[in-house]
Amino acid sequence: MRMRRRSVLAATLAIGLGVAGCGIPDETEVRVDGPGPSPGFASAGGVGDAPPVRESAGSREQFVQNFLLTAAGEPRETYKRVRGYLAPAVQDEFKESQEEPPVNLVRVRSTTVTDDTNGASTATLQVDQVGVLDGDGRVNPPVLTATSYTIGIGQVEGKSGWFVTAPPNVLLLNVSALDSNPLVGYYEPQTIYFWNLERTALVPDLRYMPRAVPPEGQPTEILDRLLGGPSDLLQPAVRRLPAGTKRTGTVPDTGDRLEISLSAEAGAPDYDPADLGRQLMWSLPPSLRKDLEVKVEGQPPRVITMDQAYLDANQVRPFSETPERFAILEGKIYRLKSSPNGGQDSLPSLLSDAVNHDVAFASLASGSGVTAAALVVTRGQGRQLIVGANGGDRPRSFTPVGPENQSIGRPVWLKAPLDTGLVVVQGKLYRFGLDGGGLTQVGLPGIPGAVSAVSAAPDGRRLAVVAGGRLWVAVLGRDDRSVEVLAVRGVTTTLQQLTEVAWSGEGQLTVVGLRAGKSTIGTVTIDSVADADLSYELGGGAVTYLVGAPSPGSVEGNRIMFAAGGKGYDAQGPEPIIQADEIVDGPSNAQPAVAPFFMN
Amino acid sequence: MTLSAPSASALGKASALGKRALAAARAGWRAASQRGAALAAPAHLTWRRSLHFRVVTITLVASSLLVGGFSYLVATQSTNILLRGTESGVKSQLHDDVEYAANQLSVYDQQYDPDIQVTLNQTATYLSGGGPEQGGMVALTAVELPNLKTAAPLGVDVSPLIGDDLEEQVAVRGQVAKQIRTADLGGGSTKYLVYGSRVPTSFGQVELYRIAPLTNEDQVANQIRTMVLFTGVALVVLLGVLAALVTRLVVNPVRVAARTAQRLSAGLLDQRMAVNGEDDLAQLAAAFNQMATNLQRQIVRLEEMSRLQRRFTSDVSHELRTPLTTVRMAADLIFAGRDDFDPAVARSAELLQAELDRFESLLTDLLEISRFDAGFAMLDAEPTDLVPVVRRVVDRLAGVADRAGVTIDLNLPDTPVIAEVDPRRVERVLRNLVGNAVEHSEGKPVRVTLGVDESAVAMTVRDHGVGLKPGEEKLVFNRFWRADPSRARQTGGTGLGLSISLEDARLHGGWLEAWGAPGQGAQFRLTLPVRAGDRLTSSPLRLVPQAEVTA
């Protein structure tokens, strides 16, 4: 009996062992399914866009110039590049770090290299402080005031070339590194966009993108910049993304769209991820612009296409096509042939013959279904501002605004929404509106001197003001009854005694001033970085009048019209001077056209 | 091939170690096999003796093999199906993961971009979703880019899961490969399916591993296995019980038949089997009973016949005695007066006297034999010194020996040899043996030896006459058997002497045996227990003479 029990046990054990061996094993051999995907290839971008290395200098002067460019490019590599220039003895003063250090932009006026004893040299730099470039590509106003730096130059035994033996105690970058010309600079100026506080339009923010960032990486970098917030100037006037929003992935191009992954904070109740999508879409360089898929944690993905809402988000958009051009001839407004359709369209119905006479300056704007006109008309010895509008919920026949005054300047309209205009009267800035009120003065805190010219950016939140011969950029807070200057920033330019200003790009102003006592038209970016003269044959006359029309997505532009020596000029016309045959239906043998303007 | 000195010595050490290990293994095997043999011996005995055990064991072993094989197949197949399903799911997920990771990493073209590590971590966290215990997780490695660390969600260390072989296949050979591994990632030891693929990027090679826990699959596989195991065991046990029951049905009647047959053979002739029903076993029982009845009838008939025969012999002997006495008296009278008759008549009277002596001793022997046959022989045992018994017998036969020209040598111990025997019967046996020896010794000496030990006494009688042919050692004890029938009437024996001697020896519980070889004479040995009723185990004297053995 015992034996039988034992054999039963053995049989059970045999089955048990057999079956136990056939569960999921603890470890298996590696099994191969087939070949994996083949490795990818990098695009051609980003190569050769690094600043010159130490060894490439042929002279001490060039070495100093090169050293002032080393901070350019990929910001996280800045320390590394700068250390490459430093003599071993002083390298320890620069700790390697992956932080993005603020870089002080300077405009170098002169460089002098003097020989010291023992074969070393000292370079003395005379500079103007331009601003501070940070890791997000913003140029904020300068924090340093020094105008002179010395740099010790020497050689290290056993190594070729020069070394910096006594570096300045701050990171300096020659502002030429930000030149938009790829042969000169290492950055591409870009505008990224933030929504205004009312979420009615996007406000451009000027940034600089290192050329070292490949096109594939730019959407991610731009998203990071959007998440990083606007530049100091725009802070009070635009919305930041919901606090705490982070990207949870990069922004890859999946072929027909870009994918954006954001943390759950982006789904804040008062924030529409579509807004972020349109904001990002506009912020992308046009070559990379495509449909977006926005994925916010905890929400279904949303696809943002280039629809009407996207187009409407940027008030500059109408200028992307040929802007409508007008000119005033013998007190009457005419279309120019360079308008769309050769200017054959009739004038806006607002400008009936009843009002279209004795016009000195005019400003036309359309937006949100409203067309508004502000005309400065001659009344005897003085001038009078009359304002009219049609369309929308506030149609208004032309009525005078404010008193008659000899020195009323050219009015400008603020868009988004199109309900407010600004005009300079006797050196002061006044607001007028479509609401029927009179002129109310707009305070300009921080801007000294009499205002001589004003130009509003198409976004309706930025203003360029020339006051006391200097240029300022201000951001505005608005409601339908008032305008308030929230922040201002001075713009430095090499032109003197400025008189006129106009927005010619999203981040660029065209100004009129004196260079060597001669009236000159020049451009300057609103962060004072790029400064250039435009050369026009003006016949010795001073430029007395200037308007511009920016292109969307473009930092710079040259769509300007101006008047000098009693003649109207169109920078993009067949000839600079607006000829009589460019006036549509104009009277024969008339005076030259004056005060040309764009429909804003 | 030459070996350097240290490596040779190392090899020597290794081989010495190997030998020692081999010796230990051998010793272990021997011990195990001995132990096994010790265990197997009773099993072997039971195997040989019990049909029941054999059938149940064979059924159990065969069904275990069958059920085991089948269970293995079922469990393996179901596990494989489970795993295949999981694998294909993980594979398609891996495909999506790789696509996602490739997209995420497509924005970089420099391997030293510090954001890559952040993106790797973000991607791993995003793709891992529910965490390692729920839907599995994703780890990203860059074997060839030392500045990039392995990215896994929540800082889980996945290195125990990504083996060198898998890494080799995925990272070096660019294959999509998978492996099951077990590791403890914080939630206890768990099996994981690790599926790896290369991720195409512009800055170098990144590998993505999707790590799926097999907890559910393992549970299901275990459940299937347990179910199959229990079912299998239950089936085997059931088959064993069935086999035991069926065998019992068949074996039990056979056992009853065996017992009955044993009783029959022990003489219980009225034993019968019970006949139940009409099946094969019932037929067996009926046939068996029939056989037993026939056997009983035959045996009873033969016994009856044997009894009648013995009775007849006894009766005839008794009946002959009375007329013989009368004839004897008449013959004695005639013999006494023979001198008065003429020589021919006197010679007849002598012949008559001699034949009457012979007739009388024949009758006496017949009566003695019939007493043995009838079971009336009684042993009258008393402590007796056998030395004088032997001397007495030899003395009495001295005359006969002299006439035959035979000398009788005695080889007796110096001390008395006391045994509980019936002296009359022992003397008769000895007389028969010595008489026979003298008669057949053909003039050569006869030697009588007496031996004793603690439990037995023995007497041998050795002659050197014609001897016995092979097979005749047993025949000599048959009634009326003669080695040479032609000499039947030459000697005066009745032909019953050795038969009676054998019965006498048996009555003592002793042995009477014969040895002989042609031309070498014969030796008879009588062995008796020292105490009456004891069982004999050996004899103090040899049956076959020493000289014959050495020859």
**What's the pLDDT tens digit per position in A394-424?**
778 888 998 888 889 999 999 888 889 999 9
Contact between chains at A24 and B177 (C-beta distance less than 8 A)? no
Give me the numbers of helices (H) and strands (E) for chain B, helices first please.
Answer: 13, 11
Average predicted confidence (pLDDT) for chain A:
86
Which one of A5, A33, A246 would you mutate to disrupt binding with B, by most B Cβ within 10 Å of its Cβ?
A33
A552, A109, A51: which is closest to A321 by C-alpha? A552
User: Within a 13 Å sphere around the CA of B535, how many CA atoms are in the beta-carbon half?
Assistant: 1
Find chain A residues with C-beta within 8 A of B217's C-beta.
24
- What is the pLDDT, as a whole number, of residue A342? 84
* Cα-trace Rg, chain B: 51
Q: Where are the beta strands (DSSP E) in A288-369?
A: 291-296, 302-304, 325-329, 332-335, 359-367
User: Rounded CA gap, B508 and B485, in Å?
Assistant: 31
Find chain A residues with C-beta within 8 A of B81's C-beta.
none
Q: Which of residues 127-186 of B touch A (CB under 8 A)?
A: 163, 165-166, 168-170, 173-182
From the list A7, A31, A217, the residue facing B107 with the nearest CB is: A217
Residue A458 near residue A600, CB atoms below 8 Å: yes
Give B456-474 pLDDT, tens digit per residue. 999 999 999 888 888 888 8
- What is the pLDDT, as a whole number, of residue B210? 92
Q: Which of residues 224-243 of B touch A (CB under 8 A)?
A: 225, 228-229, 232-233, 236-237, 240
Q: What does DSSP assign to residue B164?
A: H
Contact between chains at A8 and B114 (C-beta distance less than 8 A)? no
Find chain B residues with C-beta within 8 A of A249's C-beta.
104, 119, 122-123, 126
Find chain A residues with C-beta within 8 A of B225's C-beta.
19-20, 22-23
Cα B132 to the center of its chain, rounded Å: 64
Which one of B49, B64, B67 would you mutate to disrupt binding with A, by most A Cβ within 10 Å of its Cβ?
B64
Residue A562 near residue A547, CB atoms below 8 Å: yes
Whether residue B523 is predicted with pLDDT greater than 90 in this model: the reply is yes
Whether residue B351 is predicted with pLDDT greater than 50 in this model: the reply is yes
Q: At B460, is the secondary structure helix, strand, or coil? A: strand
Burial environment of residue B35 by CB neighbours within 10 A (0 to 12, 13 to 18, 19 or more): exposed
Whether residue B451 is predicted with pLDDT greater than 60 in this model: the reply is yes
Span of A365-369, B226-230, B259-263 with lowest mean pLDDT? A365-369
Residue A323 near residue A599, CB atoms below 8 Å: yes
The residue count of chain B comes to 551
Numbered ranges of CATH 2.120.10.30 in chain A: 317-598
Q: Out of 3.40.710.10, 3.30.70.260, 3.40.50.620, 2.120.10.30, which CATH number does the structure's domain A317-598 have?
A: 2.120.10.30
Whether residue B256 is predicted with pLDDT greater than 90 in this model: the reply is no
Numbered ranges of CATH 3.10.450 in chain A: 54-178
Burial environment of residue B105 by CB neighbours within 10 A (0 to 12, 13 to 18, 19 or more): buried
Give A334-371 pLDDT, tens digit per residue. 999 888 888 888 888 888 888 999 999 999 998 878 89
Give the minimum alpha-carbon distance from A312 to chain B in angstroms, rounded to a whole number. Answer: 29
Beta bridge partners of A296: A262
- What is the pLDDT, as a whole number, of residue A172? 92
From the list B181, B222, B237, the residue facing A23 with the nearest CB is: B222
Mean pLDDT to the nearest integer, B175-198: 89
For B311-324, b/e burial (b = at least 16 CB within 10 A) is: eebbeebeebeeeb
User: Rounded CA gap, B450 and B419, in Å?
Assistant: 12
Beta bridge partners of A484: A477
- What is the pLDDT, as a whole number, of residue A520? 92
Residue B182 near residue B192, CB atoms below 8 Å: yes
CB atoms within 10 A of CB A108: 17
Contact between chains at A24 and B108 (C-beta distance less than 8 A)? no
From the list A24, A41, A216, the residue facing B218 with the nearest CB is: A24
Which one of B94, B97, B110 would you mutate to disrupt binding with A, by most A Cβ within 10 Å of its Cβ?
B110
Contact between chains at B174 and A16 (C-beta distance less than 8 A)? no
Residue B236 near residue A13, CB atoms below 8 Å: no
Whether residue B448 is predicted with pLDDT greater than 90 in this model: the reply is yes
Start-to-end CA distance of chain A, whole Å, equals 110
User: Rounded CA gap, A254 and A248, in Å?
Assistant: 16
- What is the pLDDT, as a whole number, of residue A21? 59
Q: At A310, is the secondary structure helix, strand, or coil? A: helix
Give A539-570 pLDDT, tens digit per residue. 778 899 999 988 877 888 888 999 988 888 98
Contact between chains at B126 and A261 (C-beta distance less than 8 A)? yes
Q: Which domains does chain B have, with CATH numbers?
A: 33-252 (no CATH), 269-376 (1.10.287.130), 382-550 (3.30.565.10)
In chain A, the residue whose alpha carbon lies closest to the alpha carbon of B69 is A18
Whether residue B549 is predicted with pLDDT greater than 70 in this model: the reply is no
Q: Out of 3.10.450, 3.90.660, 3.90.1150, 3.90.1690, which CATH number does the structure's domain A54-178 have?
A: 3.10.450
Mean pLDDT to the nearest integer, B53-60: 90
- What is the pLDDT, as a whole number, of residue B257? 83
Contact between chains at A38 and B200 (C-beta distance less than 8 A)? yes
From the list A11, A19, A28, the residue facing B229 with the nearest CB is: A19
CB atoms within 10 A of CB A322: 13
User: Rounded CA gap, A327 and A330, in Å?
Assistant: 10
pLDDT category of residue B133 using cuts at 50, 70 and 90: low
- What is the pLDDT, as a whole number, of residue B241? 93
From the list A12, A19, A253, the residue facing B236 with the nearest CB is: A12
- What is the pLDDT, as a whole number, of residue A451? 95
Mean pLDDT to the nearest integer, A450-463: 93
User: Rounded CA gap, B200 and B397, in Å?
Assistant: 129
Which one of B59, B103, B178 would you mutate to disrupt binding with A, by most A Cβ within 10 Å of its Cβ?
B103
Mean pLDDT to the nearest integer, B395-414: 90
Find chain B residues with C-beta within 8 A of A209's C-beta.
none
Give A490-529 pLDDT, tens digit per residue. 999 989 999 999 999 989 999 999 998 889 999 999 999 9
Q: At A147, is the secondary structure helix, strand, or coil? A: coil
Share of chain B above pLDDT 70, in %: 93
Compute φ and ψ for A484, nearest 5 degrees.
-130, 135
Start-to-end CA distance of chain B, whole Å, equals 67
From the list A43, A77, A261, the residue facing B109 with the nearest CB is: A43
Contact between chains at A32 and B169 (C-beta distance less than 8 A)? yes
CA angle, B155 as apex, B153 and B160 as ends, to 5°? 95
Q: Is 0.80 topped by the overall pTM?
A: no
Contact between chains at A24 and B106 (C-beta distance less than 8 A)? no
Q: How far is CA A343 from CA A340, A375, A584, A585, A596, in A?
A: 6, 21, 6, 10, 14
- What is the pLDDT, as a whole number, of residue B471? 86
Span of A13-22, B379-388, B480-489 with lowest mean pLDDT? A13-22
Share of chain A above pLDDT 90, in %: 38
Contact between chains at B233 and A18 (C-beta distance less than 8 A)? no
ipTM beyond cut 0.90: no
Task: Kindly state the helix (H) or strand (E) to which residue B83 belongs, with its residue range.
Answer: helix B51-105
Give yes or no for a cis peptide into A417 (omega within 30° of 0).
Answer: yes
Find chain A residues with C-beta within 8 A of B122's C-beta.
248-250
In chain A, the residue whose alpha carbon lies closest to the alpha carbon of B231 is A15
Find chain A residues with C-beta within 8 A of B113's C-beta.
74, 76, 217
Residue A395 near residue A418, CB atoms below 8 Å: no
User: Rounded CA gap, A324 and A371, in Å?
Assistant: 13
